[in-house]
Amino acid sequence: MIFLLSLMLGCTFNEPQLPTWVTEVQVPLEPQKFLVQDQLDSSVVTIQGADSLLALSIEGDIGEVRLEESQLAFPPRDTSRTFTLDTLRFDSLQALNTGFLSLRQVAPQLAAAVGQSVHLPETTFVVGPVVVNSSDFKALLVKEGQIRLSILNAFPFTLGPNNQSSQGLHIALYNDSTGELVSQLSTNQPVQPGETVVLTDQIQQRWVRSPLRVVASLPLAQAVSFAVTDSLLDAAGTSAVLEFPHLLATEALARFHQQHYRRNLRFSLKDQKGNRLKQGEIARGNVLVTFANQFPLSGQFRVHLPEFQQPDGQALQVDLDFLANQTVQAPPVQTNHVQIANRQTPGAFLDSVQATVELITRRTSGFVHLRASDQFQVQVHTDSIFFRSFSGYLAADSIAIPRFQRQASVDYNGLEDGIRFAGAELLVKIFNEVHIDQLRIKRLSITGRHRNSSGQVTASAQVHIADQAILPGDPGNPVLTTISFPTREVTDFLNILPTEIEGVGTIAYQGNASVTVDASRVHGRYSFSTPVQVKIDRQNRIEGDIQTLDESSIDADIREAARDDIRGAQLALQITNHTPFSGTITMLVTTDPARLQGDFYNLSRLDSTREFVEVFQIPSASIDPGSGTVRAAGETISQIGLNRSQIRLFSQPPVYVGFLVTIDPTDGFVTVRGNDFLELAGKTVFQVRVSQ
């Protein structure tokens, strides 16, 4: 015991030592994958095809063009024509009767032989003059017509030619007031007792005046003997009836029965532009008819337009009453929904319209002086005729394409300045519902402008299209015309990255046409497109997501380790590049929360006590020389040792880590696919001495 105590008093005791060892503690970084598809998060970039090639496409509507009524309008027209009556027709003049002329009146000398038998040798009785008066006319200047005279032989002997009068019966008509001979009628045929003979004569250009004087020569055909009695003298005799069955006069003072006149006039449908109509439906327009009566008769006037067919199938007609020497105007006749076409030759051009003018006069109660040279005037006024449908020929003309715009709807996220495209194409699709033989885009100008975030125009470009044929279509059955323009002009247009697009233009037309105003239209779409074959002229930056390493992300062994307990640390970063680009990746590690409020990646200022930066090269991918696409990804794993000040940052969470990708300019154009990507995976490995 004493020995042991002496031994203990004679020795020095050290503090007991715990065992220690060095372990690795990892702080993993969240992987980041930069998909090209995501980086080009643009409204105008699409993925096409099984190989996921990217394409830039900007589409929009071209202003709709419709044929306006004005394009299918015929101008106002005034057609006036003066007609003369030409002839005055008399078909029902009252017959003029001489009355019965007895034998006592014809041969008064026989009265002395009453009760005796007398013998009459071949002789000629002269009857008249007998004056007959007409209640229908006072004077007629006959242009042409017929006089018909019926003579009754009521004598007891035959009348006819004899040795003294070889011409037989002869009657002369005279105007009583002037003594002018009107007509001579005769027959060399014997007329038996009780027989009536009818004599006719044609007269021309001769005045017939009432009253008329009739003188008749009645020869006995042969000598005759008969007993004379008073009853015979009174019962025997003759009578004559004078008729004018059909007379055409050039002047008359008469009571007029109904006169009927029909005339035709035509008015043109051609316009100054040269449009020609075959058939059509009128949308609107009026017909106004004026009748100027310059003669002293009243009646009814009618204008018949056979080429204008109303919805009920009846031809358009204008009726109005008129008085003597009066000008009248019919109310305007609307032609809405009226069909107009060539009725005589269906399908032929209708360059003029026929109007049939019909004039029917009323019977007069008194005598009226009228001449064939008297006139009436017809005026047909048509307002501008606008067509709802038109079939025919349209002369060369053009229609403006309304201005079309696309604004504030195009974004180019990820397509930064310095990127240029190759091989762009403009595709114009025209849907035509207008049937015109020759229809073409005369001019189409599309302007693009690029506005920056301040609204300032920084670049502009134009594409011009001219003289492009459009296939004819039909209303309700559009026909597609596709026009492709793979030109340098189009490429230059897309390379300004237009944020707004507008266009104007003109469509020209000419030829045979069948169009409907409401349904005939031309509309279309434009599409600018290019596969994303880009050339990068200057460096472009892609900012990665900011990762926060808080206490849950950094192991306590690191946070609580003494200064000398962390023996070392290495930063490892794996970079996988499946893009045709090269460049650098800048990694920023900071504990400064102020960076979150501003430009996190502003590297012009660095606080070495709170942050550090490491730069890594992006490995090159293997590129297919034929297609220009990535054949195999490039991959590197980089390890960098951290110094004490850099290591110390991880013990002061939160720690903010960000990656800035810088894309270098390309040597030429490269092809980009939607599934191309750049992927980052990293970790920081700490060697920490740990004691139990």
Tell whether 485 and 524 lie within a shared domain.
Answer: yes
Asked if residue 374 is part of any domain, the answer here is yes
From 383, 414, 442, give the residue that closes a domain: 383
Tell whether 26 and 58 lie within a shared domain.
Answer: no
Distance CA 613, CA 601 (A): 10
- Do the beta carbons of residue 204 and residue 249 sit within 8 Å? no
342: its two tokens: 């060539």
Asked if residue 1 is part of any domain, the answer here is no
The single-letter DSSP state of residue 347 is: T
Tell whether 285 and 179 lie within a shared domain.
Answer: no
Asked if residue 53 is part of any domain, the answer here is yes
Burial label for 498, CB within 10 Å (0-12, 13-18, 19+), is buried
Tell whether 227 and 249 lie within a shared domain.
Answer: yes
Tell whether 586 and 475 lie within a shared domain.
Answer: no
pLDDT at 17: 54
Asked if residue 4 is part of any domain, the answer here is no
pLDDT at 20: 67
Tell whether 27 and 65 lie within a shared domain.
Answer: no
Asked if residue 12 is part of any domain, the answer here is no
User: Residue 309 belongs to what H/E stretch?
Assistant: strand 299-309
Distance CA 62, CA 70 (A): 22
pLDDT at 50: 56
Residue range of the domain that includes 510: 45-69+394-531
Distance CA 446, CA 462 (A): 6
Asked if residue 13 is part of any domain, the answer here is no
Instruction: For residue 564, give the nearest of 647, 654, 683, 655 by alpha carbon.
Output: 647
Tell whether 29 and 62 lie within a shared domain.
Answer: no
pLDDT at 1: 38
* pLDDT tens column, 281-313: 998 889 999 999 999 999 999 999 999 999 998
Find the angle CA(603)-CA(607)-CA(608) to the nearest 5 degrees. Answer: 110
pLDDT at 471: 93
**Cβ atoms within 10 A of the Cβ of 47, count?**
16
* pLDDT tens column, 172-216: 999 999 999 999 999 999 999 999 999 999 999 999 999 999 999
Report the relative pairing of strands 327-329 and 368-371 from DSSP bridges.
unpaired
Half-sphere exposure of 335 (CA within 13 A, CB side): 28
The domain total for the chain is 4
pTM of structure: 0.65
Residues 6+ apart with CB under 8 A from 331: none
Amino acid present at 316? L
Can you point out the beta strands (E) in 409-476? 419-421, 425-432, 435-451, 457-470
Asked if residue 5 is part of any domain, the answer here is no
Tell whether 202 and 127 lie within a shared domain.
Answer: yes
Distance CA 249, CA 89 (A): 6
From 358, 383, 408, give the residue that closes a domain: 383
Tell whether 232 and 265 lie within a shared domain.
Answer: no
Beta bridge partners of 325: none
Query: Three-state SS across 270-327?
Result: CCCCCCEEEEEEEEECEEEEEEEECCCCCEEEEEEEEEEECCCCCEEEEEEEECCCCE
Burial label for 173, CB within 10 Å (0-12, 13-18, 19+), is buried
Find the angle CA(253)-CA(255)-CA(260) to the nearest 5 degrees. Answer: 100
Phi-psi region of 580 (alpha: psi -120 to 50; beta: other; left: phi over 0): alpha
CATH code for the domain in which residue 269 is found: 2.60.120
Residues 6+ apart with CB under 8 A from 98: 130, 132, 214, 239, 240, 241, 242
From 383, 405, 425, give the residue that closes a domain: 383
pLDDT at 92: 85
Tell whether 186 and 290 lie within a shared domain.
Answer: no
pLDDT at 411: 59
Instruction: For residue 420, give the nearest of 501, 499, 491, 498 by alpha carbon.
Output: 491
- Do the beta carbons of residue 630 and residue 580 sit within 8 Å? yes
- Do the beta carbons of residue 500 and residue 407 sit within 8 Å? yes
**Cβ atoms within 10 A of the Cβ of 624, count?**
12
Asked if residue 17 is part of any domain, the answer here is no
pLDDT averaged per 10 residues in sequence order, the chain, 692 residues: 38 52 80 76 60 74 86 87 92 92 91 90 90 95 94 94 89 94 94 95 94 94 91 93 94 94 88 88 91 93 92 90 92 90 89 91 94 93 90 92 75 59 85 93 92 87 93 90 88 87 93 88 88 76 88 75 72 91 92 88 86 91 81 89 85 89 84 83 81 60
**Cβ atoms within 10 A of the Cβ of 207, count?**
16
Distance CA 469, CA 485 (A): 14
Tell whether 371 and 410 lie within a shared domain.
Answer: no
pLDDT at 692: 55
Residues 6+ apart with CB under 8 A from 367: 137, 138, 253, 254, 255
Tell whether 415 and 511 lie within a shared domain.
Answer: yes
Q: Which residue has the tokens 């990694």?
A: 587
- Do the beta carbons of residue 184 and residue 167 sit within 8 Å? no
